[in-house]
Structure 1
Amino acid sequence: MTVVALHHARVRYGPLEALHGVTLAAPGPALTVLLGRNGSGRSTALRALAGTVPLSGGAVLWDGVDVTRLPAHERARRGLCLVPDRRAVFGSLTVRENLALAARECGPALDAYPRLRPLLDRRAGTLSGGEQRMLAVSRALLARARVVLIDEPAQGMAPEVAARTYELLAALDACVVLAEQRMPPALRGRRAFVYELLRGRVVFGGEAGEFERRGARGPRPVGGPGGAGV
């Protein structure tokens, strides 16, 4: 089992603090979903796990080892893959070249997303938003990473392609962490861990079924004012 975690993590952007002592843990192989509106801190939590933003307090743990000071490229070498919500593909490279950066054999990606096959020689920057998301996710599928962090994986995709995307991610033998504004319909009823963030704090942490049963009762604090969510 692989577990990545934030422990009382704080992140600042200049004078503004985006994460206020967030604690959460994502085990794998399994799905963990970070939910929250824009400005909630969900994307920042992903970046903190990946090492693309520094912590101003707290720690990042990977299988119980403190990797807070480990740079992003070293985390990538150890098997972590981050797919940000923007600039997730190399726009000046073709679809084929983008896939080749992840693996020599791109067949599995094309099987996952057949719509990419006729686009192999197109520059990625000319693709539609949904097509770029397919390419970004397919690169993550090819990477065979131990930890996969994806910010809004189905953004811009048609509903049937989005549903397929969540099936592919749920089937990965990896710790998969998704950042979403709301619970994707395709994940309802699946076994997953859910953390809901509000203004940089965790206000819910538990199984997806518990989150769904909670319904419209409104957020409840988890772990006191520090926002601990484990």
Structure 2
Amino acid sequence: MTTGTLISLRRARVRYGPLEALHGVTLAAPGPGLTVLLGRNGSGRTTALRALAGLVPLSEGSVVWDGSEVTRVPAYERARRGLRLVPERQAVFGSLTVRENLELAAPEESSALEAFPELRPLLSRRAGTLSGGEQRMLALARALSARPRVMLADEPAQGMSPAVAARTYALLGSLDACVVVAEQRLPPVPRDRAVLVYELRRGRVVFGGEAHELAHRTARNGGAADG
């Protein structure tokens, strides 16, 4: 049982050349539990995920995991320690079959398909021929088969039907792991457990709290959250 897992950004700044994508962002994702990074394109939510994963360097600030600073720990070492990232694009090997994709992730793991039985009849298909939603299922199944301690996913339910998206979020919310997802809008998060939400806008955190608090604020403002 995972206890006390926590990954966080502390006053994190990330630059892409002359442009700064994160302006001193501080956020913390506990686990087991689900944390949502909410924001429109360009808000910094994807950059925050990539910073947690070690795929982009910080120009200032730090990444802390379970009380230890891992800012300079490379991405492959974070993966060895149990961190998995499901990016928005190129999350599967398109030239390989569904079965080969799963075998690469966990050669002896057969439970990956339990979460997404829709993939069973597609095992012999090349991943590049799948629909967008099917590729998301495959990418998530690959990550889940590794039994991650920290799972980061960028728009995990993109392209899925509403029913499958709801099932996906119920699954993510039930994992014995620290799960952080990036979404443009608040997804169908489980209502029977606390879900932490950080809303980002132009590289800054403008809201941090539980999902129901954001829903109340949105209702009070008479419209959708401004991400």
**Distance (Å, rounded) in 2 between the aligned partners of 1:92 and 1:107:** 21
User: Aligned residue for 1:72?
Assistant: 75
Task: Output the CA distance in 1 between the equivalents of 2:191 and 2:91.
Answer: 26
Q: Distance in 2 between matches of 1:156 and 1:78?
A: 30
Tell me the secondary structure at the aligned position of residue 136 of structure 1: helix
- Is 1:188–1:208's contact at 8 Å kept on the other side of the alignment? no
Q: Which amino acid aligns with 1:53?
A: V
User: Displacement of 1:198 after TM fit?
Assistant: 0.3
2:25 is aligned with 1:25: no
Name the aligned partner's letter for residue 62 of structure 1.
W
Q: Secondary structure of the residue that 1:149 maps to in structure 2?
A: strand
CA contact (8 A) 2:189 2:195 kept: no
Map of 1:131 onto structure 2: 134
Q: Distance in 1 between matches of 2:50 and 2:99?
A: 27
- The number of residue pairs the alignment matches comes to 218
Q: Would you say the 8 A contact 1:189–1:209 is kept in 2?
A: no
Residue 213 of structure 2 is aligned with which of 203, 210, 215?
210
Which of 91, 113, 116 does residue 110 from structure 1 map onto? 113
Residue number in structure 1 paired with 2:176: 173
Supply the AA of the counterpart residue of 1:161: V
C-alpha displacement of 1:40: 0.2
Rounded Cα–Cα distance in structure 2 between residues aligned with 1:58 and 1:164: 36
Deviation at 1:135, TM superposition (A): 0.1
Q: Pairwise CA RMSD of aligned residues? A: 1.3
**Would you say the 8 A contact 1:189–1:208 is kept in 2?**
no
Secondary structure of the residue that 1:107 maps to in structure 2? coil
Q: What is the TM-score when the length of structure 2 is the normalising length?
A: 0.92
Aligned residue for 2:111, secondary structure, equals helix
- Residues of 2 paired with 1:16 and 1:87: CA distance? 24
Which residue does the alignment assign to 2:224?
A: none
The Cα offsets for residues 31-71 of structure 1, whole Å up to 9 and x where unpaired, read as 00000000000000000000011111110110121101000
Q: What percentage of aligned pairs have identical amino acids? A: 75
Gaps of 5+ in 1: 219-230
1:59 aligns with 2:67: no
- Match for residue 100 of structure 2 among 97, 100, 108: 97
Q: Deviations over 1:126-172 (max 9, x none)?
A: 11111100000111111101000000000001111111111111111
Residues 1:182 and 2:185 aligned together: yes
Q: Structure 1 length as normaliser, TM-score?
A: 0.91
Contact in 2 for aligned 1:19/1:200 (Cα 8 Å): yes
CA distance in 2, matches of 1:56, 1:204: 23
SS at match of 2:206: strand
1:206 alignment partner, SS class: strand
For 1:7, the equivalent position in structure 2 comes to: 10
Give how far 1:203 is off: 0.2
Aligned to 1:44: 47
Tell whether the 8 Å contact from 1:28 to 1:175 is kept in structure 2 after alignment.
yes
For residues 162 and 9 of structure 1, what CA distance do their matches in structure 2 show?
31
CA distance in 2, matches of 1:68, 1:204: 24
Displacement, 1:189? 6.1
- Alpha-carbon distance between aligned partners in 2 of 1:8 and 1:46, rounded to the nearest angstrom: 15
